[in-house]
A and B are shown apart, each in its own frame.
Chain A
Amino acid sequence: MSYTTEQVMAAAPDAQVAAAGKKLADAKHWLNLGRDADALWGECQGSAVYQVRVALADLTAKCSCPSRKFPCKHGLGLLLLAAQSPARVAEGTQPEWVASWLAKRGEAAVRKATPPAEKKVDAAAQAKRAATRHERVLAGLDALDRWMNDLVRNGLAELETKGPSIWEREAARLVDAQAPVLASRLRAIANLPGSPNWGERLLGELGRIALLTHAYRRIEQLDAPIAADVRAAIGWTLTEEEVRAHGDTVADEWLILGSAIEDDDRVRLQRTWLVGLRSNRTALVLQFAAGAASNFAEVLLPDTSIDADLTFWPSAHPQRALITARRGSRTASESRAHATFASMLDAMATVFAAQPWLRHGGVAIENVIPMVDARGQWSVRDRDDAVLPLAGRDHWRLYAISGGAPIGLAAEWDGVALAPLGGSGA
């Protein structure tokens, strides 16, 4: 496949590795460089000689150095070298240490794809644990409903001066009640009071939470897909094995729209949005990386497409997915962008109607023009002159690229504003 240095740099786990990798992207550091349809390889002369190999299907690098960063500077250096000076990395035959690694990876992929042998599970004990948790969740939701009723009885206006601690307290109670996803939903709205139009937005969020507690109490009467959404929105999780076993799998050429990264000190969360070129389905792949040193397992570069099987979490609007098989990547040649906001909003209305607790959906819109007003508020207008706000305070790069001319935009739409994804406007 072909890839750009920018795409490779996006895979660097941190700035240090990025800088060190750049330095190694020079043929003078390398011996026995080679490539074929499946892999790249070479030996890097550092304080020792390290054997570096890259599987071209998913750009995963493996190196014999002791670094715990992934990819390490040698892997990154080899990728960069091959991207910048392809002529230096000649076609060749895989040495044994490359072939054996690729073979091992193949076996692992097969193992991963075949469901593990039925584990002995104590079904009775499991059901009992679930029943206990259900009771706890119900008690937690009762307390939450009383608290929300108090809020609307006393008026939301007073929240503006109260600060985020009251939300934190309620969120902690929900964590104790084993409803962690609902707890984070509550934390996420703690910053609303004081922002533009916050009364309306906060009321809407509280309403959707009330709808969720209402739905959970009636979960037995709900259709299975929406029941799965309600359970997920509370915090009941499915293991990847369960998703593999029960989820709906779609094989397609998946176009990568872009990624958003949320970073706190301990964990980085990457949300990558994909669209199936044949199925037209939108998929969201979540990846977590603990600490700055580790990287996301799947390398998903904007404006490339991957030939892959995606298995979806059950939902009334299946969106979150797991990459269960990946066959190769290429530079994207097609787009799946909406021509207008009207078309995008139409599609999203159907999505929100099917799954009212969705936080956002990934969308691409063509021919939009970013704008900024005198107060520093950002927005975009489409070819029909319709205007939607952009979330966030700094979109100068997008603005610089556009220069007042139409560009393509990939973003997350949450019903209020568009949050551009990384790599947007390329």
Chain B
Amino acid sequence: MNEFVRAALIGLGRDAGSAPPSGTPIDTLVAKGDRERTFLLHAAGRDLYLRAGLVPPKFEGAPEVAPPESLRGCSPRLTQVLADAIDGDAEVYRAIGEAMTAAKLHLPHRLLPEFLDTRNPDARTALAPTVGARGQWLARQNEVWDWALPEVVADASWEEGYTDQRVAALCAMRASDPASARAKLEAVWSKERAEVRTLMLEALVIALSPDDEPFLERALGDRSLNVQAVAEELLARLPESAFVMRSIERVQPFVQQAPAATSMWNKVKAGFGAKTLKLIVEPPAAKGSGARARALAQFVAAVPLAHWASQFDATPEQLLEAARATDWSEALIEGWATAAARQRHSTWAEMLLARAPKSLTSEAKLSLVGALSPEAVMQLLRGQASDDSLIGAMLEALPMPWPREFAAHWLHRLQRAAADPPDAQRNTVASTMDITARALPLTLYDDAVRDWDIAESPRRADWERRVEKLIRIIRLRKMIAEESAS
């Protein structure tokens, strides 16, 4: 440190002598006064001397230069529109991310810090493909933004990260190279704790294939019951697996067809082609009927649904009918529902949702929605009595943008709901405004942004807010889409 500054810091009082000179020629201009005063005036001179004569240091180091963009940039007009849209609303950010991705545009550079500060995970997922080369360059230099990097899941986070980071890394590796991801998991398998093993094994659901069977078979013998359950669940998704074959064999004694009916009436019916399926269900022996039902459901869940149809030569509806005639219908339905969700069997899922909703837990219903084909989802949503609690999940399950005809139907349903006081009270309908805004095809733009008739009701203000947001999002999407077309 400079002697002069040092003297000021430790204090002139420590030393009886005179204060040190500032080392600048300005000192000579200062009239001699008492020691402290002269020192301060020297300090003034020195300060000005240093400011006036400042020579900045030279840059030494490797310059950081962002790589060029491969996506297109936005026009000044769209940049301004996006700047105005920055208000932290996750749905708006999602819509922007989705529309920009489809339009192959990158976010304007000047707005990147604000978008990168987004915390909502859904918004991040939608925005990540649109940050462009500049956004990734920034994210590499600011760890808070590393969600925007494609290589977040680098080897480093697999080797050294926290559990959630490691699972995320495994999921990403699994998506790009399933076999090597499995090999990496096998390499650490014996060293991980049971909870970690459970979470990591679940990641194998991504790109699951018969190649995974040997590893999953070993996991069936794991010490942890949770790990075993995950392994069973995954194996049940592989229709050719030995586990599935064993399950079929195992379940066979428990569910059988009743001997053919001998009554005259049934013979007559059979002669006309109508067949009544009758099942005899005898769950495996266990302590208490609850445990027996659980075991039966578990066995049934592991069996491919096609097996029942071929074994009993019956449609899903006939099987459901037959199950209902037994004492174990709830267990059978639960097992079938689990199987339908795992096997993504749309026909079964649709049939169960339509015919057995009362026998299904809400969790089971949600997982069945995931198994439905888009056509089935739209069919169910068009039905007047569609289950309120599933509407959101069903809409989420549809690919975006929605088919025009369905989208028009849904938009009009919302517009009717807004105008009709009793319907307007239903939160589940109102809450689909956000996803509608994101999923509506732009060919319905004029329909969507026209003036909405909103009923006088205690929720009027809420509807107005939702409608305004829907229109805002659709306008944004249209502008972004037009930009890519121009």
| A interface, CB within 8 angstroms of B | 4-6, 9, 22, 145, 148-150, 152-157, 199-200, 203-208, 210-211, 214, 341, 345, 348-349, 352-353, 356, 369, 371-372, 381, 385-388, 396-397, 399-401, 403-405, 415-416, 425
Contact = CB atoms under 8 A, between A and B. Distances in A.
Contacts of A369: 63
A386 B57 contact: yes
Interface stretch (B137-145, B153-161, B265-273): B137-145
Interface string B260-278: 0000000000000000000
Interface in B12-53: 12-14, 34, 36-37, 39-48, 50-53
A6 B82 CA distance: 11
Given A157-B10, A349-B53, 8 more contacts: A153-B36, A156-B9, A356-B44, A386-B57, A396-B113, A400-B110, A403-B109, A404-B63
Contacts of A204: 43-44, 46-47, 50
A327 B132 CA distance: 43
B176 interface: no
Contact of B36 (A22, A152, A396, A397): A152
**Chain A interface mostly helix, strand, loop or mixed?**
helix
Contacts of A152: 8, 11-12, 36, 39-40
Contacts of B36: 148-150, 152-153
B80 interface: yes
Q: Which of A22, A155, A369 has the most CB of B within 10 A?
A: A155
B385 interface: no
A365 to B, nearest CB: 12
B83 interface: yes
B27 to A, nearest CB: 12
Contacts of A356: 44, 48
Given A387-B59, A403-B134, A372 B141 contact: yes
B84 interface: yes
A2 to B, nearest CB: 13
A157 to B, nearest CB: 4
B54 interface: yes
Given A149-B36, A152-B11, A371 B64 contact: yes
B41 A6 contact: no
Q: Which of B39, B46, B141 has the most CB of A within 10 A?
A: B39
A386 B51 contact: no
Contact of B41 (A4, A211, A345, A399): A211
Contacts of A153: 11-13, 36
B5 interface: yes
Contacts of A352: 48, 51-52
Contact of B1 (A5, A199, A387, A401): A199
A425 B40 contact: no
Contact of A199 (B8, B12, B46, B76): B8
Given A149-B37, A155-B9, A404 B56 contact: no
A199 B9 contact: yes
Nearest to B14: A155
A205 B380 CA distance: 76
Given A155-B8, A404-B65, A349 B52 contact: yes
B43 A210 contact: yes
B2 A154 contact: no
A352 B48 CA distance: 7
Contacts of A401: 109-110
A6 B111 CA distance: 13
B13 A154 contact: yes
Q: Which of B12, B52, B65, B112 has the most CB of A within 10 A?
A: B52
Contact of B51 (A203, A210, A415): A415
B58 interface: yes
Contacts of B102: none
B356 interface: no
B66 interface: yes
A399 B110 CA distance: 9
Interface of B: 1-2, 4-5, 8-14, 34, 36-37, 39-48, 50-54, 56-59, 63-66, 76, 80, 83-84, 109-110, 112-113, 134, 137-138, 141-142
A22 B471 CA distance: 14
Q: Which of B46, B51, B64, B142 has the most CB of A within 10 A?
A: B51
Contacts of B63: 369, 404
B113 A206 contact: no
Contacts of A206: 40, 43
Q: Which of A199, A200, A356 has the most CB of B within 10 A?
A: A200
Contacts of A6: 80, 83
A58 B397 CA distance: 54
A207 B37 CA distance: 9
Contacts of B44: 204, 207-208, 210-211, 356
A152 B40 CA distance: 8
Contact of B40 (A148, A353, A403, A404): A148
A210 B47 CA distance: 12
B449 to A, nearest CB: 11
Contact of A397 (B53, B56, B76, B113): B113
A69 to B, nearest CB: 19
Contact of B58 (A155, A387, A425): A387
30 contacts: A4-B76, A5-B80, A6-B80, A6-B83, A9-B84, A152-B36, A153-B11, A155-B14, A157-B9, A203-B43, A204-B44, A204-B47, A207-B42, A207-B44, A207-B45, A208-B44, A210-B37, A210-B40, A352-B48, A381-B59, A385-B58, A386-B58, A387-B59, A396-B113, A400-B109, A401-B110, A403-B65, A404-B64, A405-B65, A416-B51
A396 B8 contact: no
Contacts of B113: 396-397, 400
Contact of B56 (A9, A157, A214, A388): A388
Q: A-B pairs with the 8 shortest C-beta distances? A: A155-B11, A207-B43, A204-B47, A207-B44, A403-B66, A404-B65, A210-B40, A349-B52
A392 B56 CA distance: 18
A281 to B, nearest CB: 20
B431 to A, nearest CB: 23
Nearest to B69: A403
B54 to A, nearest CB: 6
Contacts of A381: 59
Contacts of B64: 371, 404
Nearest to A356: B48
A26 B57 CA distance: 53
A349 B51 contact: yes
A4 B42 CA distance: 51
A415 B110 CA distance: 28
Contacts of B142: 396
A205 B5 CA distance: 12
Contacts of B83: 6
B328 to A, nearest CB: 60
A377 to B, nearest CB: 13
Contacts of A5: 80, 84
Contacts of B138: 396, 399-400
A15 to B, nearest CB: 9
B47 A207 contact: yes
B333 to A, nearest CB: 52
Nearest to B53: A349
Contacts of A385: 58-59
Nearest to A386: B56
A216 B388 CA distance: 80
Contacts of B14: 155
Nearest to B39: A152
Contacts of B47: 203-205, 207-208
A16 to B, nearest CB: 12
A207 B54 CA distance: 18
B353 to A, nearest CB: 42
A115 to B, nearest CB: 38
Given A6-B80, A386-B59, A403-B134, A207 B12 contact: no
Nearest to A205: B47
Contact of B13 (A155, A203, A371, A404): A155
